[in-house]
Amino acid sequence: MGKIRVLLADDQELILESLHIVLSMEDDIEIVGLAKNGEEAVQGCYQFQPDMVLMDINMPVMNGVEATALIKERMPIIKVMMLTSYQEVEYVMAALSHGAEGYLLKAIHPRDLAAGIRVVHAGGTLISQEMASKMIKRMNTGSAIKNNEYRLSSREIEILQKLASGMRNQDIAEALFLSEGTIKNYISTIYSKLNVKGRQEAARKARESGIMND
């Protein structure tokens, strides 16, 4: 049986080299390429045809979520596992919704990382325990939210919360890896469902009805 061919993508050279050294010690893993941004990761997939990409999120030129979306669209056979320090549920959801098969934190032990690569390569999905717990909590909250009288979805509630906190449309779009136009469409739908005309009125109505806590 051949080795698992892995492409590493991270903008920090020290982490790239460390991962290269550690994973190369595994008998069944071969590092076939290195990328310092998402664009290089996409190009590397064309060039090296890896079985898997170990992808950071916050990288210049093109971030890891955007790169994942392109890779899964153009080369769906290649598996992508995020390896990052970001512990926000939004990043996990964005990565998974764009096709990633795994989401691990950089604090992981090298032995567990190698084991995770094998799990994902074999067809599994892997999320770090910390992030899985946060996702379950978010989903439970979302389930309760969906039953509100205005029938806002969990995504609409999420955007409404960010609106109420004072975030601009552009900032919300960047946080959720969506276009600003998509955010504007969501906001229009939210206003329509709540029968309001502005942010403050929307946030007030949501709090009064129990949809969103202060």
Sheet containing 102-105: which strands, arranged edge to edge?
29-35, 4-9, 52-55, 79-84, 102-105, 126-127
CATH, residue 180: 1.10.10.10
Q: What is the tally of structural domains in the chain? A: 2
**Is the domain of 182 the same as that of 82?**
no
Residues 10 and 85 occupy one common structural domain: yes
Query: What pLDDT is recorded for position 146?
Result: 45
Q: Cα–Cα distance between 120 and 128 in angstroms, integer?
A: 13
103 phi and psi angles, rounded to 5 deg: -145, 105
| R_g (Cα) of the chain, nearest Å | 20
Long-range contacts of 74-79 (CB under 8 A, 24+ apart): 74/42, 74/45, 75/45, 75/46, 75/49, 78/45, 78/49, 78/50, 78/51, 78/52, 78/53, 79/51, 79/52, 79/53, 79/120, 79/121
Same domain for 66 and 29: yes
Query: Do residues 97 and 169 share a domain?
Result: no
CATH number for the domain spanning 19: value is: 3.40.50.2300
The percentage of the chain sitting over the pLDDT mark of 90, rounded to a whole number, equals 53
pLDDT per position as a tens digit, 112-164: 999 999 999 999 999 988 888 877 776 665 544 444 567 777 788 888 888 88
Between residues 99 and 177, the one the model is more confident about = 99
Mean of the pLDDT values across residues 167-191? 88
Same domain, 30 and 101: yes
Segments forming the whole domain that contains residue 94: 4-128
Note the pLDDT of residue 181: 87
Domain C-terminal end among 128, 150, 176: 128
pLDDT, tens only, 67-106: 999 999 999 999 999 999 888 777 888 888 889 999 999 9
